[in-house]
Amino acid sequence: MSKTALITGITGQDGAYLAEFLLEKGYRVHGLKRRSSLFNTDRIDHLYQDPHDPDRRLTLHYGDLTDATNIIRIVQETQPDEIYNLGAQSHVKVSFDTPEYTANADGLGTLRILEAIRLLGLDRKCRFYQAATSELYGLVQEVPQHERTPFYPRSPYAVAKLYAYWITVNYREAYRMYACNGILFNHESPIRGETFVTRKITRAVARIALGLQDKLYLGNLSAQRDWGHARDYVEAMWLMLQQEAPEDYVVATGVTTTVRDFVRMSFAELGIEVEFSGKGEQEKGVIIDADEQRLTALAIDPATVKFGQTVVTVDPTYYRPTEVDLLIGDATKARQQLGWEPKYDLSALVKDMVLSDLRLMRKEEYLRNGGFGDGYEPHS
């Protein structure tokens, strides 16, 4: 008998990779999808199966984490063996603009699912994964951060996730539910949302190299993050639900890098060398060298790469009212107990993202060269 999984946030980065991963393992996968005025299924379109296909194993359900009634209905209808709660307003900076909504979706949303499992009497059958986060560590208390490091959240997002973390622990202890927190450090991929810093950088690097954009505006270049690949991290989520007993785990690479270095590495992937100078808001990144052979091999016109061109400038709009300066995780427990081993290191991640964005931006270049502007035509 194949297992059944319900994924909230299936249209997001992790939801898409996890759905693919579970389908490959033979699961029946149900996904919670918010109603939107556009399809918004780009990340899972390759997994789509015709609803008329009797062997269909992927089904989407309209719903929202802020609505307990639809959560109860969908959990009842799908009777899942495993629920992965990945749905969230996941942008830290945006959470300062929408703190109440973030608390509702990310904090109470978790409670709604746990209560649905309990009220429907599924607490013995259904295992629960909560997408906890390294943002819980916030203001640095200890380096590297592990499962026993004290939390000090620094944003409405992190505070909402703190509630979700503890309510998951509480339901595990109070009702003996199989419920786990995966304390995942930043993980990225070619399908990362475009407003997170890594994807913002790799997109802009590709566009600058193709002459589609002059400059990239960023906030805090000195922030340090432990960046892994989302493909590796969804496997850890699944592993957490396959153990004898439910526990919480840190998932991280153990390597930290500044935003500034991520920019340098991304340009370097295309053969472009960028040097930073200046401090604070005056800091900027300038092209100082280029590898013509590398550019030519990637079919980038070396004439678009101009020495002395400022390609990165600081814009304080992107600063956060309270910042998380340094994250570096110790995933010893996940490696030892789950046997989890990441396949990507930082340079493999950067390569995957930059080359994917280069391919994507070529379509834009092609449209521009074909006389179609940037491809976006106003509707009458």
- Site string (258-277) toward ligand GDR, x via CB under 6 A: -x------------------
Q: Which two tokens stand for residue 317?
A: 């709009």
Report the distance separating Cα 219 and Cα 204, nearest Å: 14
Q: Is 86 in the site for ligand NDP (CB under 6 A)?
A: yes
Q: Is 88 in the site for ligand NDP (CB under 6 A)?
A: yes
Q: Is 34 in the site for ligand NDP (CB under 6 A)?
A: yes
Which residue shows structure tokens 């790799």? 202
| Number of other residues whose CB lies within 10 A of the CB of residue 163 | 16
Dihedral sign for Cα 308, 309, 312, 317, please.
positive
Q: Which two tokens stand for residue 8?
A: 């909230």
Within 8 A by CB and 6+ apart from 102, the residues are: 89, 94, 95, 156, 157, 160
Enzyme catalytic residues: 133, 135, 157
Q: Which two tokens stand for residue 260?
A: 């500034």
Report the distance separating Cα 270 and Cα 302, nearest Å: 11
Which C-beta is closer to ligand GDR: that of 133 or that of 256? Answer: 133
Q: Is 130 in the site for ligand GDR (CB under 6 A)?
A: no
Q: Is 164 in the site for ligand GDR (CB under 6 A)?
A: no
Report the distance separating Cα 252 and Cα 328, nearest Å: 7
Tell me if 176 sits within 8 A of 127, measured CB to CB: no
**DSSP 8-state secondary structure symbol assigned to residue 277:** E
∠ CA 56-59-63, rounded to 5°: 170
Q: Is 101 in the site for ligand GDR (CB under 6 A)?
A: no
Rounded to a whole number of angstroms, the minimum distance from the CB of residue 306 to ligand NDP is 34
Question: How many residues make contact with ligand NDP (CB under 6 A)?
Answer: 26
Binding partner of residue 318 among ligand NDP, ligand GDR, none, CB cut-off 5 to 8 Å per kind = ligand GDR
Q: Which span (49-57, 80-88, 271-279, 316-324) binds ligand NDP, by CB under 6 A?
A: 80-88
Task: Out of 99, 211, 219, 254, name the contact with ligand GDR by CB under 6 A.
Answer: 219
Give Cα 50 to chain centroid, integer Å.
Answer: 28
Partner residues linked to 34 by β-bridges = none
- Site string (317-346) toward ligand GDR, x via CB under 6 A: -x-x--xx----------------------
- Site string (134-173) toward ligand NDP, x via CB under 6 A: ----------------------------------------
Which C-beta is closer to ligand GDR: that of 223 or that of 272? Answer: 223
Residue 140, Cβ density class (10 Å: 0-12 exposed, 13-18 middle, ≥19 buried):
middle
Report the distance separating Cα 275 and Cα 294, nearest Å: 18
Q: Is 135 in the site for ligand GDR (CB under 6 A)?
A: yes
Rounded to a whole number of angstroms, the minimum distance from the CB of residue 319 to ligand GDR is 7
Binding partner of residue 95 among ligand GDR, ligand NDP, none, CB cut-off 5 to 8 Å per kind = none
Report the distance separating Cα 178 and Cα 241, nearest Å: 8
Rounded to a whole number of angstroms, the minimum distance from the CB of residue 292 to ligand GDR is 30
Residues that bind ligand NDP (CB under 6 A): 8-9, 11-15, 32, 34, 36, 40, 64-66, 86-90, 105, 131, 133, 184, 186-187, 193
